[in-house]
Amino acid sequence: MKIGAENRKQVIAMVVLLTIAIPLAIYELPSIMGTSSAAPPATVSTPTTSTASRPSRRIQGQDAKIDPRFRKDIFEASQNIKYEGGSRNIFVMEAPKIEAPIAPVKNPTPAVATPTPIPTPTPYPPINLTYYGFATSPPGEPKRVFIAQGDHVFVVKQGDFIARQYRVVQIAPNSVMIEDVLHNYRQSIPLTAR
């Protein structure tokens, strides 16, 4: 099917008319069906006893409180209102500078310094370890000793830790120097016979 010059003009006219008719039909379809998407027309009533030169109109319904008339007296009254906010400029991010209050100058009285009492050293908890003696070790190896804490017996050398709280500082023939790492306190434990 070929479209000639006459048919082409008719097809173009039909396309233009359809592009206008389709949106118009969609817009008018709700009013034809009985439901309207447009707002209902406002009812206007004029009072019969009006003494003003202009008739006053009132809108009834949901927009009854809105008066669309220009009220020059309200407009002029709103122009006479001065802004009395604080001294802060709302368009600047800086905080306003606060002036220091002026207080009367008093002569300072020298305060008598009370001597601070020297705190008495708190007694450290006693180290509850017992020294039992030496362990036999091969020549050239460091000395090892038996140290008990309750039912547990540890075989340690100088520098080792016992129960994550005590460190062996020095091993002597008759005593062992133990340091309480938590309280930074040292105590000598003498050799005891079992």
Q: What gap in Å lies between CA 8 and CA 147, rounded to an integer?
A: 114
> Per-residue pLDDT for 69 more than 50?
yes
Mean pLDDT value across residues 81-99 = 73
The one-letter code for the residue type at 153 is V
User: What token pair was written down for 20?
Assistant: 């206008």
Which pLDDT score is estimated for 22? 93
Say if residue 168 is exposed, middle or buried (CB neighbours under 10 Å; 0-12, 13-18, 19+). Answer: buried
The one-letter code for the residue type at 92 is V
Q: What gap in Å lies between CA 59 and CA 150, rounded to an integer?
A: 98
Full DSSP string of 123-136? PPPPP--EEEEEEP
Dihedral sign for Cα 23, 25, 28, 31, please: negative
Which pLDDT score is estimated for 18? 94
Q: What gap in Å lies between CA 178 and CA 127, rounded to an integer?
A: 8
> Per-residue pLDDT for 26 more than 50?
yes
Highest mean pLDDT, choosing among 40-44, 46-50, 158-162, 182-186: 158-162
Mean residue pLDDT across the chain: 77
- Give tens-digit pLDDT for 137-170: 788 888 888 898 888 888 999 999 998 899 999 9
Give the confidence band of 51 by pLDDT, cuts at 50, 70, 90: very low
Dihedral sign for Cα 101, 106, 107, 112, please: negative
Give the confidence band of 13 by pLDDT, cuts at 50, 70, 90: very high
Full DSSP string of 31-98? HHHT--SSPPPPPEE--S---SSSPP-EE-STTTT---S--HHHHHHHHTPPP---S--TT--SPPPP
Which pLDDT score is estimated for 62? 54
Which pLDDT score is estimated for 50? 43
CB 160, CB 167: distance < 8 Å = yes
> Per-residue pLDDT for 107 more than 90?
no
CB 142, CB 160: distance < 8 Å = no
Q: Is 0.85 topped by the overall pTM?
A: no
**Domain boundaries along the sequence of the chain:** 10-38, 130-190
Lowest mean pLDDT among 62-71, 125-134, 152-161: 62-71
> Per-residue pLDDT for 15 more than 80?
yes
The CA angle 41-47-49, to the nearest 5 degrees, is: 170
Q: What is the CA radius of gyration of the chain?
A: 52
